[in-house]
Amino acid sequence: HARMLAEAGAVPVEVRTPEHLADVACLAIPGGESTTIGKLARRFGLVEPIRERAASGMPVFGTCAGMIVMASRVQGGEPLLGLLDIEVQRNAYGRQVDSFEADLDVHGLDHRVRGIFIRAPRVVDVGPGVRVLAEYEGAPVLLEQGNLLVASFHPELVGESGLHRYLLSKI
């Protein structure tokens, strides 16, 4: 995400502590392993500060595992941040070997967004205050709720910075 945020005009900073979080105007939560992200967020005392900043309007963008940690409902698991009124199913698009790329029509953008789906979560329920911005085969894959943005896929792995520009426009 750092490279995409830089291309979009921001100065990226790694957030590892509540003090780091206090210094940023928005937050991108990357892909990876959602349970590891959860363990680290708890260990460094970031869960409540992220919830508070998001509640006060700080834009937050979660991709893949970032979507899982932001979801309010996780099938077979406990939500971490519980920010977005969605339910997700982890690894719903298959294993690592089942990874794929897709071009997506995104509401509000004038170009298609290419995303890479790697052990991606599937959104199985969307609350009334959540807006679906893109779908893949009928399932929501890009959603927003106010200052929050989540994607089942990785736009940053193909150099797609349009969603990062959109995130920065929310500041």
Q: Annotated catalytic residue: which of 87, 144, 156, 160?
A: 156
Torsion of CA 133, 26, 84, 162, to 10 degrees: 10
Q: Annotated catalytic residue: which of 1, 154, 160, 164?
A: 154
β-bridge mates for residue 134, sequence order: 142
Cα–Cα distance between 16 and 32 in angstroms, integer?
16
Q: Is 64 a catalytic residue?
A: yes
Helix (H) or strand (E) holding 143: strand 139-145
Tokens linked to 106: 């995104």
Q: Is 156 a catalytic residue?
A: yes
Q: Annotated catalytic residue: which of 1, 64, 87, 160?
A: 64
So which residues are the catalytic ones?
A: 64, 154, 156
